[in-house]
Amino acid sequence: MRTQVAIIGSGPSGLMLGQLLTNAGIDNIILDRVDRDYILGRIRAGVLEQGMVDLMDRTGAGARMHKEGLPHDGFSLSFSGRMTRIDMNKLTGGKRVMVYGQTELTADLMDHRAATGGVTIYNASGVTPHDFDGDSPYVTYEKDGVTHRIDCDLIAGCDGFHGVCRASVQDKGVQNFEKVYPFGWLGLLADVPPVHHELIYANHERGFALCSQRSKERSRYYVQVPLSDEVEGWSDDAFWDELRARLPADVAEKVVTGPSIEKSIAPLRSFVAEPLRFGRLFLVGDAAHIVPPTGAKGLNLAASDVHYLFEGLQEFYSDKKWSGLDVYSERALRRIWKAERFSWSMTMLMHRFPDEGAFGQKVQESELDYLSSSTAAQTAMAENYVGLPY
């Protein structure tokens, strides 16, 4: 079997890249070790920057997103019993974000790929990239007890943090940068109306909390917990009590509770691998970087990677030039590190750190108080939240 671009991983980055290539007449095959149902069973966030929304429209899979997604013009920071609203729309000249679940976005991309004849091979075990540092790369995998080979021009590694692509370049000069945070997020998903029409980020002496949503009838809430906690130790009632304790009283009394659909604890880390190109293999999305979810950048960084890589691939196949692919890593990393900085700063600002003590708490309170009264500080936060330009 042969294709022009072999894409390993059928998450949002792999699907977006594959669809853009298909739309441009560039042959591609997507491989994934699991099946569609498993992928769609994973609960993920869904705050989309304008660039991500535009990219979904370019794939042709954005119709349901516009119909069911919730545009947000701002968000609120809660601290010391009060709230400050960051008016993103006003501060950035009309920009906004879209709340639309990653699971729904992934399903839309899968359906559109199937409708446009794109090839995705699920349940492909042992997927391995070969000879990507030469002129004739290929990918092998096993399915139904048979070993298969796909020859290709280029390989896109869109297979996530634990995928095979970054593992395949660990001895080829990759440099990893990582910060692990000393807490996690306990998240609860429930079919209850959101407490607020926009997101609320709360800094409280008991720890961070986030009021988010998936739709007008489905809410996603989080509270900061120690890494030693286990989800089995948290009943729904205990979660709701803790959430309300960390919110201003007038907000807490409006929280509608209900049974959880899903409940889990996610550790937080910042991670970047450099470079993103190894011969004819390119790392994309979570295969290259992870951000704490505080700044809502994970999915959106995958989109900007796809944008830069697609531009390079389009030039490669239309003009027979390597220039776009040669600068892919540099261009993508420049934006990645800015998003890493923002996510880190939001995490440091809104969480309680066990070792920071009273001094750290006072610094946070001072920064939040400054934000509440400074248009310049709010503008910088809004610009980063809606997404820096590609």
Q: What is the CATH number of the domain that holds 250?
A: 3.30.9.10
Q: Are residues 361 and 331 in the same domain?
A: no
pLDDT at 290: 97
Active-site position among 196, 263, 297, 351: 297
pLDDT at 284: 98
Cα(291)–Cα(344) distance, integer angstroms: 8
- The residue behind tokens 């709230």 is 83
pLDDT at 252: 97
Encoded tokens for 237: 């009632």
Cα(195)–Cα(251) distance, integer angstroms: 7
Cα(286)–Cα(176) distance, integer angstroms: 13
Q: Are residues 238 and 188 in the same domain?
A: yes
Cα(155)–Cα(181) distance, integer angstroms: 32
**Catalytic residue check, 201:** yes
Cβ contacts of 62-66, under 8 Å, gap ≥ 24? 62/108, 63/108, 64/104, 64/108, 65/98, 65/100, 65/104, 65/105, 65/108
Q: Are residues 188 and 203 in the same domain?
A: yes
pLDDT at 37: 86
pLDDT at 40: 87
pLDDT at 39: 86
Active-site position among 293, 307, 317, 351: 293
Cα(174)–Cα(169) distance, integer angstroms: 6
**Catalytic residue check, 293:** yes
pLDDT at 38: 85
Instruction: Give residue 233's domain range.
Output: 182-267+352-386
Q: Are residues 223 and 260 in the same domain?
A: yes
Q: Are residues 208 and 164 in the same domain?
A: no
Q: Are residues 256 and 133 in the same domain?
A: no
**Residue in 381, 287, 268, 266 with CA at minimum distance from that of residue 336:** 287
Active-site position among 100, 141, 181, 201: 201
Does residue 76 lie within any of the structural domains?
no
Spatial CB neighbours of 311, under 8 Å, sequence gap ≥ 6: 324
Query: What is the CATH number for 131?
Result: 3.50.50.60
Q: Are residues 331 and 242 in the same domain?
A: no
Does residue 257 lie within any of the structural domains?
yes
Active-site position among 141, 181, 328, 385: 385
pLDDT at 275: 98
Q: Are residues 152 and 188 in the same domain?
A: no
pLDDT at 86: 98
Q: Are residues 238 and 262 in the same domain?
A: yes
Q: Are residues 105 and 233 in the same domain?
A: no
**Catalytic residue check, 297:** yes
In the predicted model, residues of the chain with pLDDT beneath 70 are none
Q: Are residues 155 and 63 in the same domain?
A: yes
Active-site position among 72, 95, 196, 263: 72
